[in-house]
Amino acid sequence: EAQVTQNPRYLITVTGKKLTVTCSQNMNHEYMSWYRQDPGLGLRQIYYSMNVEVTDKGDVPEGYKVSRKEKRNFPLILESPSPNQTSLYFCASSLLGLAATYEQYFGPGTRLTVT
């Protein structure tokens, strides 16, 4: 089954403790992206990757890192989480990033709470 998976689905952590949220897709998609969703603010893009070893900042990259060493994986790293990073995070992938005709597939989400 074609899908985007994220782990963990739920995470409660403390300020400053490094964490990684994993994202994996099995559709051989070139483009992958991370979003955060906050009440009243909609989904905002954090980082995206056009292909292996190619990443770039989205609208809200501060406090986050990503890497794309393999085509299928795109982990989101919070080196020193803070309470304002408490949010619902979605990973997404698409066959090609520059083509407006391709849909994005989203993972189920990771709910992160930083205390």
Partner 1 sequence: DAKTTQPNSMESNEEEPVHLPCNHSTISGTDYIHWYRQLPSQGPEYVIHGLTSNVNNRMASLAIAEDRKSSTLILHRATLRDAAVYYCILRDSGGGADGLTFGKGTHLIIQP
Which residues form the interface with partner 1 (CB under 8 A)?
A: 4, 31, 33, 35, 42-45, 48, 50, 56, 58-59, 90, 92, 97-101, 103-109
Quote the tokens at residue 95: 């066959």
* Smallest separation, CB 86 to partner 1 (Å): 17
Is residue 112 helix, strand or coil? strand
Given the complex with partner 1, which of 17 and 97 has the nearer CB atom? 97
Given the complex with partner 1, which of 15 and 56 has the nearer CB atom? 56
* Smallest separation, CB 114 to partner 1 (Å): 20
Identify the sign of the CA torsion 49, 50, 53, 56: negative
* Smallest separation, CB 73 to partner 1 (Å): 17
Looking up tokens 């992938």 gives: 93
CB 95 within 8 A of CB 103: no
Given the complex with partner 1, which of 47 and 85 has the nearer CB atom? 47
HSE at residue 83, side-chain half, CA atoms within 13 A, is 1
